[in-house]
């Protein structure tokens, strides 16, 4: 991903340099995947969507990423129509938890809530298809018991489906580029960051190694 002040700079100066750099190594740019777009129109990169809204840059999960995890959950439930509820939960939880942890550092809270609603609908349809002769109330009490303040949890009492909305959003903090964790002059900065729990875990670990 390369940024520039104008389309002309990217097309006439940057792109030829990149193409020449790759050509020397026997590589070439993909014409289908290489795009030049305005930041106000936005673009997708590594599953994220980058776009400015009224001058403010917001990074969100891309629509393709959202559709992918929803379709993956749908496929699991469709394939496991006759499986036990616990098996479905054990299969879905790593998918949902991994996806949520990947996107928890960007603007994802509303999207997490919307996906929870979509996943709930999929699990509800899964449960209803298993017992077409049972009432909605019976299905609700059998597969969606209340847990604390949550009235609709897909759970069998021992296993509970992950809720994306409960994954905390944690913004990445820009670390001072000149702050060296091994330099005593910067020890106060790093200790303050560790106490406030705002520095990335990798950097915190390096401080104590």
pLDDT band at 203 (very low <50, low <70, confident <90, very high): very low
Domains of the chain: which residue ranges?
7-61, 63-166, 173-209
pTM for the predicted model, two decimal places: 0.79
Three-class HEC string of the chain: CCCCCCHHHHHHHHHHHHHHHHHCCCCCCCCCCCCCCCCCCCEEECCEEEEEECCEEEEEECHHHHHHHHHHHHHHHHHCCCCCHHHHHHHHHHHHHHHHHHHCCCCCHHHHHHHHHHHHHHHHHHHHHHCCCCCHHHHHHHHCCCECCECCCCECCCCECCCHHHCCCCCCCCCCCCCCCCCHHHHHHHHHHHHHCCCCHHHHHHHHC
pLDDT digits (tens, 9 = 90+) for 121-143: 999 999 999 999 999 999 999 99
* % of residues, the chain, pLDDT over 90: 68
Q: Starting at the edge strand that comes first in sequence, how are the strands of the sheet with 43-45 ordered?
A: 43-45, 48-53, 56-61
pLDDT digits (tens, 9 = 90+) for 63-116: 999 999 999 999 999 999 889 999 999 999 999 999 999 999 999 999 999 999
Average pLDDT, the chain: 87
């Amino acid at each position: 991903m390369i940024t520039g002040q104008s389309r002309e700079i990217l097309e006439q100066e940057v792109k030829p340099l990149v193409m020449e750099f790759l050509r020397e190594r026997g590589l070439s740019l993909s014409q289908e995947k290489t795009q030049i777009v305005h930041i106000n129109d936005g673009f997708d990169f590594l599953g994220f969507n980058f776009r400015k809204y009224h001058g403010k840059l917001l990074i969100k999960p891309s629509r393709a990423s959202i559709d992918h995890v929803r379709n993956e959950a749908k496929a699991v439930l469709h394939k496991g129509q006759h499986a036990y509820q616990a098996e479905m939960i054990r299969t879905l939880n790593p998918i949902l938890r991994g996806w949520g942890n990947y996107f928890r550092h960007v603007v994802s809270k509303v999207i997490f809530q919307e996906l929870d609603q979509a996943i709930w609908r999929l699990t509800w349809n899964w449960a209803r298809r298993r017992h077409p002769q049972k009432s909605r109330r019976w299905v609700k009490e059998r597969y969606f018991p209340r847990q604390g303040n949550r009235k609709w949890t897909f759970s069998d009492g021992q296993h509970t489906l992950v809720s994306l909305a409960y994954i905390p959003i944690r913004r990445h903090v820009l670390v001072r580029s000149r702050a060296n964790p091994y330099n005593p002059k910067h020890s106060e900065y790093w200790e303050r960051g560790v106490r406030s729990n705002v520095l990335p875990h990798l950097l915190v670990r390096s401080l104590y190694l």
